[in-house]
Amino acid sequence: MSATAIPSFRKSQESWDASILPGEANPIAPLLDLAILQTNVQGAYVYRYTGISAEATVAAFAGPEPENPGRSLPRDLMSLHWNRRTPVVLRSQAASDWRFSRFPELRAGRFDGLVSVPLLENSEGVGLANFCLKGGAPLSAGAVTFLINLSLPLGTLLAASALRGQLRRAQQHLADRKVVERAKGLLQARFGWTEEETYIRLRRLSRRSRTPLREIAGLIVESGPEPLWEALNR
């Protein structure tokens, strides 16, 4: 085992949501850029609801980076918003408003005004967009209307990106299963183990080494079972 190191697995933190397919331009970004260009807002933050509960994560943003963009917002905070179907406009003191003070972009104290727009897809709430202004920045009635009208296009794009994310995860899961099955077949053929015994040994090695099963299986497929013989027999 000493001659073969099992690589560690680390997930990189991205500013844009991880559900966007690798190499694909974020479809939400142009609308956020347009919102900033057409109005006086200095920050735009899109949150996507996860599942059917009052949880949300950052899907995309333009402006200062929020704190811990990959972390889910508290459920008690999002329970105030996820059934909301009407926009909220606060021209000042948004950071102290009880409904919004815990949003990361406002908690950091960078903004004072806010236009909060529910994002809809087929009349269902799929997310929330907070368009933020610094203290004293003017916001015309036309700008407010423009931001509110982004509810449907942003909601449609948000729902579409979620579907692409589900497809990507399903494809990855299928690919992982194929690699694990190939590795199991190699071990069974080489050492005469049953399918159940082979899986138990692989899972045990995965837990001990804190390495995902798919990485161990990939190493077996690429290098053969012998380099891991000692580890698999512990």
List of residues 6+ apart from 202 with CB closer than 8 A? 180, 183, 184, 187, 213, 216, 217, 232
Instruction: State the burial class of residue 174 (Cβ atoms within 10 Å of its Cβ: 0-12, 13-18, 19+).
Output: exposed
Q: Are 35 and 150 in contact (CB under 8 A)?
A: yes
Q: Is residue 14 part of a domain?
A: no
**pLDDT tens, position by position, 165-178:** 554 665 677 777 88
70 and 114 in a common domain: yes
Q: Is residue 123 part of a domain?
A: yes
pLDDT of residue 193: 84
**pLDDT tens, position by position, 60-74:** 899 888 877 777 888
pLDDT of residue 231: 64
Last residue of a domain, one of 164, 187, 208: 164
51 and 74 in a common domain: yes
Q: Is residue 12 part of a domain?
A: no
180 and 113 in a common domain: no
pLDDT of residue 5: 42
How far, CA to CA in Å, does 90 sit from each of 99, 111, 211?
A: 11, 11, 48
Last residue of a domain, one of 119, 141, 164: 164
198 and 151 in a common domain: no
**pLDDT tens, position by position, 74-106:** 888 888 898 899 999 999 999 999 999 999 999
**Which has the minimum average pLDDT: 8-17, 18-27, 170-179, 222-231?**
8-17
53 and 136 in a common domain: yes
Q: Is residue 75 part of a domain?
A: yes
128 and 50 in a common domain: yes
Quote the domain boundaries for residue 218: 167-232
Beta-carbon neighbour count of residue 129 at 10 Å? 28
Structural domains counted in the chain: 2
192 and 147 in a common domain: no
159 and 51 in a common domain: yes
**pLDDT tens, position by position, 200-224:** 888 888 888 888 888 888 888 887 7
C-alpha span between 125 and 122 (Å, rounded)? 8
Instruction: Read off the tokens for 124.
Output: 């269902």
SS3 call for 116: strand
**pLDDT tens, position by position, 117-135:** 999 888 888 899 999 999 8
* CATH number of residue 201's parent domain: 1.10.10.10
**pLDDT tens, position by position, 138-194:** 889 999 999 999 999 998 888 876 555 554 665 677 777 888 888 888 888 888 888
C-alpha span between 89 and 91 (Å, rounded)? 6
C-alpha span between 43 and 112 (Å, rounded)? 11
Q: Are 72 and 47 in contact (CB under 8 A)?
A: no
131 and 61 in a common domain: yes
205 and 135 in a common domain: no
Last residue of a domain, one of 164, 181, 197: 164
List of residues 6+ apart from 35 with CB closer than 8 A? 41, 44, 62, 131, 146, 147, 150
